[in-house]
Amino acid sequence: MNSVSQEGLADWAGPILSGALTTLEIALLAYAIGLVLGLIGAGCRLSPWAPLRAIGTLYSTAVRAVPELLLIILLYYAGSQALTALANQLGFSGAVTINGFVTAVGVLAFVQGAYMTEVLRGAILAIPRGQLEAADAFGFSPWARFHRITLPALLPNALPGMSNLWLILIKDTALISVIGYSELFFTVQQAASSTRSHFLFYSAAGVLYLIMTLSSTALFKRLEQRVRRGQPALNTEEA
């Protein structure tokens, strides 16, 4: 590594680490909101009421069919235009711009919720029917049945899928760079363009993404071991 590259890396180390922190903030917020949307969506998909099932199916199917990049552009540019037009109609002057952070969290959470809907739905369907029927027989309220029976039973089945969605979400935050918001990938693009050390900075970004994903994988693995404690181990050997 030559002295110019070393100086460039030193100058950009702070902004790049700040961008990595912003990436984690976006991912954590989007994941939390997506989890809530996924629970609601799974509840709709499994509802005995046909209109709710239709809404849940439409949400999960339509959102998963549209590229996240298109949704980001629509919300940021088309959404800003729509809000500006509405503000002008109400007598306010000037342009209204949707904050890049809000756009990132909103779109990624909306998409995450659609995928989470299917993960949680599958995990709930995998719960032995007798457990839920026993809860009803003992007169559990819907909330008591959920947090005492359904939630503990679905977690072991849902965690592998939830882990995969989290890893995908971390990588999808790079899509926010198209609207110029300073997360990790956009900051690295600026650094590479200004110093012309493209290999150095994009490699550094790859290392940071790798650190985030590997540490997340380890955390999810420990969590899965914890929730599976007391359950029989899966037999992966051939009979």
Give the CATH number for residue 142: 1.10.3720.10
The rounded radius of gyration (Å) of the Cα atoms in the chain is 22
Per-residue confidence in pLDDT tens, the chain, 239 aa: 555 555 566 788 889 999 999 999 999 999 999 999 999 999 999 988 999 999 999 999 999 999 989 988 888 888 888 888 888 888 777 777 788 899 899 999 999 999 999 999 999 888 877 776 777 677 777 777 777 777 777 888 899 999 999 999 999 999 999 888 889 999 999 998 888 888 989 999 999 999 999 999 999 999 888 887 756 554 544 43
Which residue carries 């809907």 as its tokens? 117
The per-residue pLDDT for 172 is 92
Please give the residue range of the domain that contains residue 59.
Answer: 3-227
Question: What is residue 148's three-state secondary structure?
Answer: helix
Q: Looking at the domain assignment, is residue 151 inside a domain?
A: yes
Q: How far apart are CA 103 and CA 101, in angstroms?
A: 5
* Number of domains into which the chain is organized: 1
What is the Cα–Cα distance from 80 to 100, expressed in whole angstroms? 11
User: Would 197 be classed as within a structural domain?
Assistant: yes
Q: Please check whether residue 117 is in contact with residue 56, taking contact to mean a CB–CB distance below 8 angstroms.
A: yes
